[in-house]
Amino acid sequence: MLGTAPPGVAMAKAKAPLRLGPAVEVVVIVTGALLTAAAIFSLFLLAIGHSPVRFFELVYIGGFGSSFSFQNTLRRAAPLILTGLAFAIPARIGLTMIGAEGALVIGALAAAALAVPIVTQGWPVALTLTAMALAAVFAGGLWTGFAGWLRHSRGVNETISTLLLAYIATAVLFFFVEGPLRDPGSANRPSTMPIGRDYMIGTLPGTNVHWGLVAGILCCIVLWLVMSRTTFGFAVRLSGGNPRAALAQGLPVGKLVVLCAAIAGGLAGLAGFFEVAAVHGQANAALVAGYGFTGILVAFLARQNPLAIIPVAILFGALAASGGLIQRRMGLPDASVLVLQGTIFVTLLAAETLYGRFKIFRPRGDER
Amino acid sequence: MDLTDSALFTVLVAMLGGAIRVSTPFLFVAVGECLTEKSGRINLGLEGNLVLGAMVAYATSFHTGEPWLGVLAAGVSGIFLGLIHGTLCSLPRVNDIAVGIAMMAFGTGLAFYFGRPYIQPPAPLLPSIPLGNWTGIPSLQRALEINPLFFVGIAVALLMSWFFRSTRWGLIVRTTGDSAPAAKAMGVNVDLVRILATASGGFLAGVGGSFLSLYYPGSWNEGLSSGQGLMAVALVIFARWDPIRCIWAAFLFGAAGAIGPAFQAIGITQGFYFFNAAPYILTLFILASSARSRSSAREAPGELSIVK
């Protein structure tokens, strides 16, 4: 008898159904949604007389095909990581904040505006860049934190208010760039004074990818730790899951809401800082490039998981990087990338309904 | 100095004319959103309907030479997007706000994609009715050249108010929006009512878009709509889900949107961008002051995710 299990147990083990965890469920469903979106988009391409194979081949070549194109991809992924986080963090507490574009613009403007007097006084580079980054994070944090405060104290829907603030941010940018902060030398394209080559953040050694990528990845790791391993993160997730229970536990839900919104704005502001200090060297209309809005999609695809945001942002960076190639080789307008993004977005949300439907992903013993 | 020469008069007349012109798309989108929200769903994607509607209307008018056909086609494109939104949101666990954001991206993407060839060529635009000939003042005459769609919009708002108040179907929509269980108990197919309400709302938003490209500003380009579709959602909250109040709210938003161009007309260009931002600031202010008011809580449809 020793060493052999009773026959009943052995039978149960043999019959125990195969079960995969919820993590596999996420990967399977998200991948399925992506493939469905690719299929729908392929039909769309076929309908207008283009080859889908060629399209995805070009996305691969333009995004990952060579060291040059991969660096281009990473360069575009850097702001997407930060704006993706800017959506994902407030989403954890139940906020749908879609105004990262506005906080990015305000952060960039603050950084560029601060740089103008500092650079002429000849501050050391490191100090200047730190001051600019802090100004950007602070300005972005205040901008979106305001929407969080409106939500908490006045009950204003944060989705609408953040989008309105994004439009206001663009107006503020144009006002300053074409008015008080305009560099008289920028004739055709009104801009602020360039911060100068010496003050620009360099690139990672041996590449032309700027440090914003490293900052973004660091933010992802830190925020993942904060969200999953700290009391603060637990309080945020609890408040997002069940605000009433959180209040009953004595958690300051209102403060957490404002704080999460401010963190989101700070992250987007940081993205704006890198756009100024590493890419454009000044603030102008080129800042309004849709990074904030693509970030929403990145966060949805990553299911608000800070670590998953990194690969997803690189994927969308590749899509953006290959836009030009697709335009040149296939004659498709760059809006085709927008259509693909929209299709992915819609499919992904429709796939939300599939979670929990398949028995195979439930934990063992859950036989509903 | 004569009255008609004064700067104030010029600004006021320009604002009146501007308010009538700018408010029309607001009116259509708001009344459409009102119908959708009354059924208990929120469609944040009407911005996409507006942009796609503008593109489709312009393209149809360009190819057929018949602007009114363009208006109809814009409405049909709005139904298309509305049906997708309505159907997706009927799936369990699918969030209507998130789908709205996605539809905004999808609709604008489609419009930019297919709209590329129509940026340059001129298409026949909608005619307007000159209602100001009796005044004898040219600037007032220009302000009172009103597009028929403006009156259609008002008529639709009045009709919808009557629809909600006095028809069986209106009651069904209101019940669905206030309490889905109650509607189910009445034997109503809640999802179907919401899908139809979203599709009809999408139709109206599409027609609103046709006004942008076929009358004012009167051309198709990618910067045509700047959040009007979204502001209309806020406008409905401000109008407390009443189609008649939507008319007044749309007019107020139109006037705010006309401030910038009106000041430009008398040569004040300083702070142009801030005047252009006036509608957004106004919306934010109105939301902050009205979102938690008691009357708003009383009149909001009970099933609406945005007020919960």
Give the residue from chain B lying closest to A343, CA to CA: B106
SS3 content of chain B, % helix, strand, coil (to 5): 75, 0, 25
Pairs of residues, one from chain A and one from chain B, whose beta carbons lie less than 8 Å apart: 128
Spell B149-161 as b/e; 16+ CB within 10 A means b.
bbebbbebbeebb
Does A160 sit within 8 Å of B287, measured CB to CB?
yes
Residue pair B290/B307 in contact by the 8 Å Cβ criterion: no
From B104's Cα to the closest Cα of chain A, the distance in A is: 8
Cβ proximity of B90 and B195 under 8 Å:
yes
pLDDT of residue B145: 85
Across the interface, which of A96, A160, A335 has its CB nearest the CB of B113? A335
Q: What does the alpha-carbon distance between residue B236 and residue B43 come to, in Å, rounded to a whole number?
A: 12
Residues B23 and B243 sit within 8 Å (Cβ to Cβ): no
Q: Which residues are within 8 A (CB) of B237 and not within 5 positions of it... i.e. 6 or more apart?
A: A157, B287, B290, B291, B296, B300, B306, B307
Beta bridge partners of B129: B146
Q: How many domains does chain A have?
A: 1
**Predicted local distance difference test score (pLDDT) of residue B306:** 64
Residue of B nearest to A338 (CA): B109
Residue A298, domain member (yes or no): yes
Domain-embedded: residue A282: yes
User: pLDDT tens digits for A66-77?
Assistant: 999 999 999 999
Q: Is the peptide bond before A124 cis (omega within 30 degrees of 0)?
A: no
How sure is the predictor about A184, in pLDDT bands with cuts at 50, 70 and 90? Answer: confident
pLDDT value of position A2? 45
Question: Helices B228-238 and B243-265 sit at what angle, rounded to 10 degrees?
Answer: 130
Taking contacts as CB-CB distances below 8 angstroms, the residues of chain A near B228 are none
What string of pLDDT tens digits covers the 308 residues of chain B? 455 567 788 888 888 888 888 899 999 999 999 999 999 999 989 999 999 999 999 999 999 999 999 999 999 999 999 999 999 999 998 888 889 989 998 999 999 999 989 998 889 999 888 888 887 788 788 888 889 999 999 999 999 999 999 999 999 999 999 999 999 999 999 999 999 999 999 999 999 999 999 998 889 998 888 888 888 888 888 888 999 999 999 998 888 888 887 887 777 777 778 888 888 898 899 888 876 766 676 778 888 876 55
Amino acid at B83: L
Residues B272, B261 contacting (CB under 8 angstroms): no
Q: Check the CA dihedral B245-B247-B250-B255 and report its sign.
A: negative
Contact B213, B55 (CB under 8 A): yes
pLDDT digits (tens, 9 = 90+) for A218-257: 999 999 999 999 999 999 999 998 888 999 989 999 999 9
Q: Position A335: which residue type?
A: A
Flag whether pLDDT at A107 surpasses 90: yes
Measured CA distances, B64 to B56, B79, B113, B125, B206 (Å): 12, 21, 20, 12, 18
pLDDT of A367 over the 80 cut: no
Residues in chain A closer than 8 A to B273 (CB atoms): 171-172, 174-175, 178
ipTM above 0.90, yes or no: no
Cβ within 8 Å, pair A160-B227: no
Q: E-assigned strands of B102-147? A: 129-130, 145-146
Verify whether the Cβ–Cβ distance B234 to A164 is below 8 Å: yes
Query: How far, in Å, CA of B145 to CA of B137, rounded?
Result: 12
State the residue range of the domain holding A305.
51-331
Chain A residues near any Cβ of chain B (below 8 Å): 96, 98, 150, 154-157, 159-161, 163-165, 167-168, 171-172, 174-175, 178-179, 293, 296-297, 300, 333, 335-336, 338-343, 345-346, 348-350, 352-353, 355
Is B3-130+138-299 assigned to CATH 1.10.150?
A: no
Q: How far apart are CA B51 and CA A8, in angstroms?
A: 66
Please give the structure tokens belonging to residue B6: 């004064």
Confidence (pLDDT) at A5:
46
pLDDT confidence of residue A16? 59
Residue A10 has pLDDT above 60, yes or no: no
Three-class HEC string of A9-32? HHHHHHHCCCCCCHHHHHHHHHHH
Contact between B97 and A341 using a beta-carbon 8 Å cutoff: no
Minimal Cα distance from A352: which residue of B?
Answer: B94
